[in-house]
Amino acid sequence: MENIMKIFGENAFTESNLKKRVPKKVFEEFKKVQKGEIELTKENADLIATAIKDWATKRNATHFCHWFQPLTELTAEKHDSFIEPHGDKDFIYRFSGSNLIKGESDASSFPNGGLRSTFEARGYTVWDTNSPPFIKENELGATLYIPTSFISYNGEALDKKLPLLRSMDAVNKSATRLLNLLGYTEVKNVIPTLGVEQEYFLIKKEHFDKRIDIMFTGRTLFGGKTPKNQESSFHYYGKIKDKVLNFMANLDYELWKVGVSAKTRHNEVAPNQFEIASIFDVANLAADQNHIVMETLEKLALKHGFVALLHEKPFSYVNGSGKHNNWSLATDTGENLFDPKSPTFMVFLSAMVEAVDRYYPILRSMIASCSNDYRLGGHEAPPSIISVFLGSHLTDKFKDAKLSLVDDKIVYGSKDKKIKKNVTMININQDFDDRNRTSPFAFTGNKFEFRMPGSTSSPANTSMVINAIISTVLNEYSDKLESSKNIEKTINSIIKESNKKHSRIIFNGDGYSKLWHEEAEKRGLKNISNTYEALQFYLDKDIIKMFESNNVLNKVECHSRYKAFLNRYVDNRLTECNTLIYMIDKYILNFTYKYIPTILFEEEQNEIKTYSNYLLHYKKELAQLLQQINEIDFEEKARLLSKDSIILEAKIRKVIDYLESKIPAEYWTIPTYTELLFTL
Ligand code: ADP
Ligand code: MG
């Protein structure tokens, strides 16, 4: 085990690697660059690039690439080899500072929501100096990956990283400003921290090859209930099968090699569903690392004969996959601002609650996707109404919150409430509140856990929006404090007023219940049920104002994001509809027609015939709908695809699932849920 642990970070160009390879002065200047205090000089960039190249080529790297997070896909990359001609038939390995820092790519074909047209194709990828380059190995060598942001010629964000970096800057300034005003002048920097839990399914590769729906859409478009489901949660934390454990061990090993601190692994609730969580880190690094986790998951699964499904809802009737984003703020003096022991805990808690109450629709938009639509509100996933869970104890305290409140019960658990137990050996205090699995935005002891993001969502987007909304509120608090003579009195009245006004967003009960839906409506909290509705909030005046005031996104960028994400939604929905039609024609009807003549009993034969007629009929209706929307404007298309076609697809699914239950396995050659979920 010790040897395996030794490989940690071997394939990442970490700070200690740089320190060893460049003069002390260069290293120190680079640290200042990372903090945004100075710009990287050309000379230093060249020295660092040479150090990275020497390190990487020793590890068999032949290529480097600028790796970025475009608007509509998870990541993108373009490779260049280190080779440059040198003399007649000779070549050398070359990698300059400018190769490292800045790449130029004709990226006009990347969906950008109209920010750039083909004749203005210039786009730049710029190294995020806080995220270390790393190496990915392949059979014949290796590639150096440089984490970058993607920026247009005019400086607009074409990706998810740049707004995240801007939001980190915003929250750094706003939180430091407030702390300084409150008397904590030793604090110079505040960083957002992020810990990402990633859920996924594994299925056999041979099954995947036979499910065109999973191949094209990431999920099953049909499939009946299995005789056994997840009812008793038999899979959750269950014994991990050897084959799966081999895969997980391999995954941890590969992740550790590139410096990703994979920590927790276990079976999840649904059959064949699993989770991997890393140790939290600075938000931009944690976001990059989650992309590495997803890419490595997909790649390694194949080596083990599996396919990893990252889709939010690959199967009906069982849990979908989320990506819990654990978020907090840390000071450079080593304090977690959401630790109840922190002297300013109540101030930051109030600001977070207020921020969510005022801007929850944009939190909802940020995690909206075609795939997450199928998950929210389903089995054990949070509902699509956003609320904040504080737990009953903290909610009580919140009502008359004061700056000076440090509460033993919150910090150490309730001493007078012991956990009931049957053994006498252990004696543990009960936590001050139980967990609430249904809450979309839950306070979990010393951080917030945003549970709505789906398994394919980008943590860069998620933490960007949390940073941005809280910054706005923190700055407003500071504005008021700046003109105040009595800081303590003013902050106490600020939080008191804020808590009174915004505690409607706090809900500690069951987020699934019908009662909550009614109650939320009374409180004026919107139920934003699908991506089409959610994305509209990118165009909302107040939300744009909030982003602009923090310099996180400007109006043009908000509008372009709206278009790019809505276009992606339309594309995904159309692919789902077209795949369904394709599978009906190529497979389902074929199975049915083969089976019908073999049925001995006329009654049964007629029943199957009737169902196959339904199928033909609905399929035609769906095809007609697609034809009709072909010509219309993309917004209207998105609206129709979020409503009418969904109803039709549900009808089709019912018929197919019925046929699947009746037609013998020898005719039904597409793997069923029983095979997909219960064999590995
Ligand atoms: P659970 O399943 O109980 O929610 P996990 O251990 O699976 O907990 O995940 C918790 C995640 O929260 C981990 O990634 C952990 O590193 C992260 N985390 C812990 N403290 C913080 C913090 N201060 N800021 C951000 N993330 C944190
Ligand atoms: Mg969790």
427 occurs within a structural domain: no
Q: Which of 637, 587, 505 is nearest to 212 (CA)?
A: 587
* 324 CA to centre of ligand 2 in angstroms: 6
pLDDT at res. 92: 82
Q: Are 476 and 490 in contact (CB under 8 A)?
A: no
Mean pLDDT confidence for 165-180: 97
Q: Which of 667, 654, 665 is nearest to 223 (CA)?
A: 654
Residue 181 and residue 259 in one domain: yes
Q: Which atom of ligand 1 is nearest to the CA of 326?
A: 26
Cβ of 1: how many Cβ atoms within 10 Å? 5
pLDDT at res. 110: 67
How far is residue 270 from each of residues 236, 266, 376, measured CA to CA in Å?
7, 12, 16
Residue 44 and residue 68 in one domain: yes
Nearest CA to ligand 1 atom 11: 195
Q: Is the pLDDT of residue 119 over 80?
A: no
Confidence of residue 294 (pLDDT cuts 50, 70, 90): very high
pLDDT in tens, 583-592: 999 999 999 9
* 277 CA to centre of ligand 2 in angstroms: 9
Confidence of residue 105 (pLDDT cuts 50, 70, 90): confident
Residue 340 and residue 398 in one domain: yes
489 occurs within a structural domain: yes
419 occurs within a structural domain: no
Q: Among the listed ranges 36-40, 460-464, 657-661, which one has the minimum average pLDDT value?
A: 36-40
Mean pLDDT confidence for 136-160: 92
* 250 CA to centre of ligand 1 in angstroms: 22
Residue 138 and residue 174 in one domain: no
> Probe ligand 1: pick from 267, 446, 447, max atoms within 8 Å of CB?
447
* Burial annotation 307-336 (CB, 10 A radius, 16+ → b, else e): bbbbbbbbbbbbbbbbbbbbbbbbbeeebb
Q: Which of 242, 209, 528 is nearest to 367 (CA)?
A: 528
pLDDT at res. 35: 87
* 392 CA to centre of ligand 2 in angstroms: 19
CATH number assigned to the domain comprising residue 641: 1.20.120.1560
Distance from C-alpha of 545 to C-alpha of 608, rounded to nearest angstrom: 58
* 435 CA to centre of ligand 1 in angstroms: 14
Nearest CA to ligand 1 atom 13: 195
For ligand 2, a single-atom ion, the residues with CB < 5 A are 324
Distance from C-alpha of 473 to C-alpha of 465, rounded to nearest angstrom: 13
Q: Among the listed ranges 51-60, 290-299, 374-383, which one has the minimum average pLDDT value?
A: 374-383
Q: Are 532 and 379 in contact (CB under 8 A)?
A: no
Q: Is 292 helix (H, G, I), strand (E, B) or coil?
A: helix
Give counts: helices (H), strands (E), the chain.
25, 19
pLDDT at res. 420: 43
* 278 CA to centre of ligand 1 in angstroms: 8
- C-alpha angle 80/86/88, rounded to 5°? 125
Q: Which two tokens stand for residue 146?
A: 């440089």
Q: Is the pLDDT of residue 369 over 50?
A: yes
Confidence of residue 120 (pLDDT cuts 50, 70, 90): low
Q: Is the pLDDT of residue 117 over 90?
A: no
Q: What is the pTM of this model?
A: 0.93
Of the residues 504, 530, 565, which one is the last residue of a structural domain? 565
Ligand 1 — pocket residues by CB below 6 A?
193-195, 197, 264, 277-280, 326-328, 336, 446-447, 449
Residue 237 and residue 366 in one domain: yes
DSSP state of 245: H
Higher pLDDT residue, 122 or 290? 290
Parent domain of 150: 4-158
450 occurs within a structural domain: yes
Q: Which atom of ligand 1 is nearest to the CA of 278?
A: 14
Confidence of residue 623 (pLDDT cuts 50, 70, 90): very high
Q: Which atom of ligand 1 is nearest to the CA of 330?
A: 23
Residue 546 and residue 519 in one domain: yes
pLDDT at res. 428: 44
pLDDT at res. 433: 53
CATH number assigned to the domain comprising residue 98: 3.10.20.70
Nearest CA to ligand 1 atom 14: 195
Distance from C-alpha of 30 to C-alpha of 130, rounded to nearest angstrom: 10
Q: Is the pLDDT of residue 383 over 90?
A: no
Residue 134 and residue 236 in one domain: no
- The mean predicted confidence, pLDDT, of the chain is 90
* 112 CA to centre of ligand 1 in angstroms: 33
For the chain, the domain total comes to 3
Residue 357 and residue 479 in one domain: yes
Q: Which atom of ligand 1 is nearest to the CA of 279?
A: 16
Confidence of residue 401 (pLDDT cuts 50, 70, 90): confident
Handedness of CA 262, 265, 271, 272 (dihedral sign): positive
> Probe ligand 1: pick from 198, 273, 279, 280, max atoms within 8 Å of CB?
280
CA dihedral 448, 453, 456, 458 (to 10 degrees): -60
> Probe ligand 1: pick from 168, 171, 191, 197, max atoms within 8 Å of CB?
197
Q: Which of 196, 130, 133, 132 is nearest to 169 (CA)?
A: 130
Q: Which atom of ligand 1 is nearest to the CA of 275?
A: 7
Confidence of residue 93 (pLDDT cuts 50, 70, 90): confident
Q: Which atom of ligand 1 is nearest to the CA of 324?
A: 4
Distance from C-alpha of 366 to C-alpha of 362, rounded to nearest angstrom: 6
* 409 CA to centre of ligand 2 in angstroms: 22
pLDDT at res. 30: 95
Q: Are 95 and 52 in contact (CB under 8 A)?
A: yes
Q: How far does the chain reach from its first CA to its final CA, in angstroms?
A: 27
How far is residue 166 from each of residues 24, 34, 189, 298, 460, measured CA to CA in Å?
29, 14, 15, 30, 11
Residue 446 and residue 306 in one domain: yes
Of the residues 524, 540, 565, which one is the last residue of a structural domain? 565
pLDDT at res. 78: 86
DSSP state of 504: G
* 447 CA to centre of ligand 2 in angstroms: 11
DSSP string, 183-217: T-TT---EEEEEEEEEEEEEEEHHHHTT-HHHHHH
What percent of the chain clears pLDDT 70, i.e. is strictly above it?
92
Q: Are 460 and 287 in contact (CB under 8 A)?
A: yes
* Ligand found nearest the CA of 336: 1
Nearest CA to ligand 1 atom 2: 197
Kind plus residue range of the DSSP H or E element containing 10: none
Cβ of 402: how many Cβ atoms within 10 Å? 14
Distance from C-alpha of 572 to C-alpha of 579, rounded to nearest angstrom: 10
420 occurs within a structural domain: no
Of the residues 158, 178, 196, which one is the last residue of a structural domain? 158
pLDDT in tens, 486-510: 999 999 999 999 999 999 999 999 8
* Ligand found nearest the CA of 445: 1
CATH number assigned to the domain comprising residue 531: 3.30.590.10
Residue 561 and residue 571 in one domain: no
Residue 573 and residue 561 in one domain: no
Q: Which of 102, 127, 166 is nearest to 460 (CA)?
A: 166
Q: Which atom of ligand 1 is nearest to the CA of 194?
A: 25
Residue 552 and residue 573 in one domain: no
* 197 CA to centre of ligand 2 in angstroms: 7
422 occurs within a structural domain: no
Cβ of 597: how many Cβ atoms within 10 Å? 7
Q: Is the pLDDT of residue 466 over 90?
A: yes
Q: Looking at the chain, how many residues does it have? A: 680
